[in-house]
Amino acid sequence: MKKEFTPRITSFLCKWCTYTGADLAGTARLQYPVSIIPIQVMCSSRVDPVFLIKAFLSGSDGVLIGGCHPGDCHYETGNYHARRRFAIVKSVFESLGLESDRLKLSWISASEGPKFARVANEYTEEIMKLGENPTRKSIFL
């Protein structure tokens, strides 16, 4: 029997908003897929473009950055910078013809447990449609 495809979504979640939101989703017993692999970062702006590229080339089927809503950043402007950095990687992916849909940035606050669960579910569905990351099987990196 063929094993069902479970995507791996490396998720960089900001400590103050999205990670806490994920925590809330858990304590509220909301269901979200096991595909989300959370990594806590102090701020979404901590995520260097290379984090995304490394996760992608290491075979993550999706990469998610979760940060505070614009205007709500714990460090005031970190998420605005995160958005610019994310846009660069998006643009690099698009020009190289790589699947930029495998990268996602979402604003989820600490009180938005349900939103976290919904984003996790919907993003997993989208990644399921995209299928396995082609880099997973590549030996030339």
Partner 1 sequence: MTDASLQGAVLPAAKEPGDAVLDFLRLAITKEVADAVILPMKVPSGDSYAWILMNDLSLLDDAVPIAATMAVQGAKALRSLTRRGPGNLTVIAVMRPCEIRAAIELTKLGQVHPDNLILATYDCPGAVQLQKYVDDPTGCEEHFAGMQQSGKPDDSAKPVCQICEDFSLFDSDIHFGYLGLSEKEVLVIPGSSRGSELLEKLGLTPARDLEGWEKGIDQLKADRVKARESAFEETEGQLRGFDGLLSVFANCIGCHNCQSACPICYCRLCYFDSETAEQNPDALITTASKRGGISLPEDRIMFHTGRMAHMSLSCVSCGQCSDACPVSIPVAGVFSFVADRTQRTFEYVAGRNDGDPLPLRQFRKSELPGVHELVKDADAEVPSHE
Contact flag: residue 112 with partner 1 (CB under 8 A): yes
**Least distance from partner 1 to the Cβ atom of residue 81, Å:** 6
Q: What angle do CA 47, 48, 52 make, to 5 degrees?
A: 80
The pairs formed by 85-92 with CB atoms below 8 angstroms and a separation of 24 or more are 85/45, 85/47, 85/48, 85/49, 86/47, 86/52, 88/49, 89/49, 89/52, 89/53, 92/49
Residue among 92, 110, 128, 130 that touches partner 1 (CB under 8 A): 92
**Least distance from partner 1 to the Cβ atom of residue 55, Å:** 10
Residue among 37, 74, 101, 132 that touches partner 1 (CB under 8 A): 101
**Least distance from partner 1 to the Cβ atom of residue 89, Å:** 5
Contact flag: residue 90 with partner 1 (CB under 8 A): yes
**Least distance from partner 1 to the Cβ atom of residue 101, Å:** 6
Contact flag: residue 39 with partner 1 (CB under 8 A): no
Residue among 6, 26, 42, 77 that touches partner 1 (CB under 8 A): 77
Residue 85's alpha-carbon distances to 50, 58, 110, 139, in angstroms, are: 10, 20, 23, 28
